[in-house]
């Protein structure tokens, strides 16, 4: 198999992992606190690990990791429907990985896909269990329909965090500077925390998190990456500061100020790295 064909297969798998992450996080947030929601978030974190392995392999082969999001199964109004969707999504993943394992001739890559396949088969069983558990416990969608200025602010924050997660991950994969790679990965993890905080705040306040992203910077030179990352962090820190002054709820104000301070920190760290370039 030619290199570009292998890259295309791996990017197809990567896109599937991306879609699974967002599907599972959306459903976990929609369920609120509880054991099953925590277990589903843990599965989403395993899918994030798969995405990371696949992206690193794509780069090793000379390709660029895809940021596209694969198909998701988001239908259904009941938690049991969501869990059935998880079963079906994992069946899709298992079938795709089995097909790609047959097609890939590189033994190292085939071994990686077999490792991921093992996880997906386990996730399939997990979601089958969650179907039974949701039926037994009567788990419900706790999201509301809040559509006011607070909901607008929170969804704007979620959109930003999702965007920079993708941007920092891409930059971490593509940069040749080891310090930059590590810092980008660390900050992407921090932004994942931010997204979770905002989504949980939205659900607790009677809203429905909208997990979508805007345009991601695709710079190929490390200095250009850092300049783009500094620019977006400064812009967003200012937006969080404005929002914190606008809202009246003390808990939300505290959260927005904390996010602002984190973004300021990120910009300063990126600026230090830029000076070393």
Q: What is the pLDDT along the chain (277 residues), one digit of tens a residue?
A: 789 999 999 999 999 999 999 999 999 999 988 899 999 999 999 999 999 999 999 999 999 999 999 999 998 889 999 999 999 999 999 999 999 999 999 999 999 999 999 999 999 999 999 999 999 988 889 999 999 999 999 999 999 999 999 999 999 999 999 999 999 999 999 999 999 999 999 999 999 999 999 999 999 999 999 999 999 999 999 999 999 999 999 999 999 999 999 999 999 999 999 999 8
Q: State which of 74, 108, 137 marks the end of a domain.
A: 137
Residue 142 lies in a domain: no
Residue 40 lies in a domain: yes
The answer to whether residues 127 and 37 belong to one domain is yes
Domain that holds residue 239: 149-276
The answer to whether residues 121 and 162 belong to one domain is no
Contact 161/191 with Cβ under 8 angstroms? yes
Q: What is the pLDDT, as a whole number, of residue 276? A: 92
Residue 143 lies in a domain: no
Residue 207 makes CB contacts below 8 A (sequence gap 6+) with: 143, 144, 145, 146, 147, 150, 151, 154, 155
Q: State which of 106, 137, 168 marks the end of a domain.
A: 137
The answer to whether residues 133 and 8 belong to one domain is yes
Three-class DSSP category at 140 = coil
Residue 179 lies in a domain: yes
Residue 76 lies in a domain: yes
Q: State which of 137, 172, 191 marks the end of a domain.
A: 137
Q: What is the pLDDT, as a whole number, of residue 277? A: 82
Residue 187 lies in a domain: yes
CA distance 272 to 276: 7
The answer to whether residues 158 and 271 belong to one domain is yes
Q: What is the pLDDT, as a whole number, of residue 139? A: 84
What phi and psi, each to the nearest 5 degrees, are found at residue 210?
A: -110, 105
Residue 113 lies in a domain: yes
The answer to whether residues 224 and 123 belong to one domain is no
CA distance 82 to 275: 48
Residue 234 makes CB contacts below 8 A (sequence gap 6+) with: 263, 267
CA distance 163 to 171: 12
The answer to whether residues 103 and 216 belong to one domain is no
Residue 144 lies in a domain: no
The answer to whether residues 38 and 87 belong to one domain is yes
The answer to whether residues 125 and 198 belong to one domain is no
The answer to whether residues 83 and 159 belong to one domain is no
The answer to whether residues 8 and 121 belong to one domain is yes
String of b and e for 133-152 (b: at least 16 CB within 10 Å)?
bbeeeebebbbeeeeeebbe
Q: How far apart are the first and last CA of the chain?
A: 38
The answer to whether residues 106 and 12 belong to one domain is yes
CATH number for 83: 1.20.1260.10
The answer to whether residues 155 and 272 belong to one domain is yes
Q: What is the pLDDT, as a whole number, of residue 138? A: 82
The number of distinct structural domains making up the chain is: 2
Contact 25/44 with Cβ under 8 angstroms? yes
């Amino acid at each position: 198999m030619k290199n570009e064909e292998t890259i295309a297969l791996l990017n197809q798998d990567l896109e599937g992992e991306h879609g699974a992450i967002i599907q599972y996080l959306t459903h976990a947030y929609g369920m609120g606190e509880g054991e099953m929601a925590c277990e589903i978030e843990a599965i989403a974190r395993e899918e994030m690990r798969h995405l990371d392995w696949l992206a690193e392999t794509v780069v090793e082969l000379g390709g660029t990791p895809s940021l596209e999001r694969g198909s998701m199964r988001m239908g259904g109004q009941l938690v049991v429907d969501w869990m059935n969707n998880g079963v079906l999504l994992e069946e899709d993943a298992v079938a795709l990985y089995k097909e790609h394992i047959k097609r890939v001739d590189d033994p190292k890559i085939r071994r990686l896909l077999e490792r991921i396949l093992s996880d997906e088969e386990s996730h399939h069983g997990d979601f089958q269990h969650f179907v039974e558990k949701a039926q037994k416990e009567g788990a419900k969608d706790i999201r509301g329909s809040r559509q006011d200025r607070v909901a607008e602010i929170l969804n704007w924050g979620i959109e930003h965090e999702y965007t920079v997660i993708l941007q920092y991950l891409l930059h971490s994969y593509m940069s040749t500077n080891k310090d930059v790679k590590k810092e980008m990965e660390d900050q992407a993890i921090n932004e994942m925390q931010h997204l979770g905080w905002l989504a949980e705040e939205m659900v607790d306040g009677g809203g429905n998190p909208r997990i979508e992203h805007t345009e991601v910077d695709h710079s190929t030179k490390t200095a250009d990456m850092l300049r783009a990352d500094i620019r977006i962090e400064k812009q967003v820190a200012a937006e969080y500061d404005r929002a914190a002054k606008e809202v009246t709820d003390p808990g939300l104000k505290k959260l927005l100020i904390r996010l602002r301070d984190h973004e300021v920190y990120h910009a300063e760290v990126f600026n230090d790295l830029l000076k070393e370039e």
